[in-house]
Amino acid sequence: MSTGELWRRAERAIQSLSACRLCPRECACDRLHDGVSFCRSGRLAAVSSAFAHRGEENCLRGSRGSGTVFFTHCNLRCVFCQNFDISQATPRRDTRLAGPRELADTMLALQDAGCHNINWVTPEHVVPQCLEALALAARDGLRIPIVYNTSAYDSAESLELLDGVVDIYMPDFKVWSPELAGRWLKAPDYPEVARERIAEMHRQVGNLVTDERGIAVRGMFVRHLLMPGAFDDSAAILRWIRDTLGPGAVVNLMSQYRPAGRVGEGRYPEIDRLLSSREYADAWALAHQLGLSLMDAAGGRTM
């Protein structure tokens, strides 16, 4: 902020909207003049909600909550999305377009409410808008860490813009095989993109670091939602994390999958069920065997 670099990043990011390639789909849509393509977002970010979230991992929510800003729309089409009404269903009467001043004021209000961090949820398609608002908020006194809560379907350009800006990366690593990525996420290139981007996030901030209260101040941890019948994908992801990021990389193995989104329409019978306790136990056992640093069900460190 003091060198003016944050303002320069924001300006560069906003100008890139004129031929948007800020996600791997590279639509080249003129969002600067409110053109809309795959992500259904134009010049301004659409915000679904912003509040002190007390359901995130312990290291984020602490005692006062994580200051989550939920952005509407997404650059993926996950058929099982538990936030389907936010990410894919349109229109939404409670969604609002937020200009940079409003978004900056939202972040400052979350800081004033005592939140431990600002948590951008599904920000992949609105990185320029986030940076533009952050420059204003930082100038006006925002000082708490920035959490980038992403599917990992980001572009290399976006992560270059965020280098030195984001304090805590929290990427999902959803699936390993292109076949499942094409069927479930509508993005066959997702696994390759996720591997490259998660490695870059880790290069930027390293492993998760917490303060004396256990609150995250810097670093990265990876979320992996365990899917029914997809143990081989989970195993490949866990081995990649160990081999590429090292055993110090923190992983949250999430067991809360439930059929949602389009799964109940009858076209995805293989995931139209809950995860079994045996499937969860097998994944947990493999992660322990690999020596990974895991979070417990509440989001606290276990090893």
User: What is the Cβ-side half-sphere exposure of residue 242, based on CA atoms within 13 angstroms?
Assistant: 15
Per-residue pLDDT band at 94 (split at 50, 70, 90):
low
Q: With beta carbons less than 8 A apart as the criterion, state whether 161 and 9 touch.
A: yes
pLDDT of residue 261 exceeding 80 = yes
pLDDT value for 206: 98
pLDDT of residue 301 exceeding 60 = no
pLDDT value for 303: 44
pLDDT value for 86: 82
Collapsing DSSP to helix, strand or coil, 293 comes out as: strand
How large a percentage of the chain has pLDDT more than 90? 90
Q: Which helix (H) or strand (E) holds 216?
A: strand 216-225
Query: In this structure, what is the dihedral angle of CA atoms 154, 25, 191, 67, given to the nearest 10 degrees?
Result: 30
Per-residue pLDDT band at 1 (split at 50, 70, 90):
confident
Lowest mean pLDDT among 89-103, 120-134, 139-153, 220-234: 89-103
Render pLDDT for 25-82 as a digit per residue (tens, 0 to 9).
999 999 999 999 999 999 999 999 999 999 999 999 999 999 999 999 999 999 999 8
- Retrieve residue 290's tokens: 């690999």
Distance between CA atoms of 29 and 7, rounded to whole angstroms?
Answer: 24
The residue length of the chain stands at 303
Render pLDDT for 108-144 as a digit per residue (tens, 0 to 9).
999 999 999 999 999 999 999 999 999 999 999 999 9
> Which residue ranges form the domains of the chain, and what is each CATH number?
45-294 (3.20.20.70)
Per-residue pLDDT band at 302 (split at 50, 70, 90):
very low
pLDDT of residue 207 exceeding 50 = yes
**pTM score, whole prediction:** 0.95
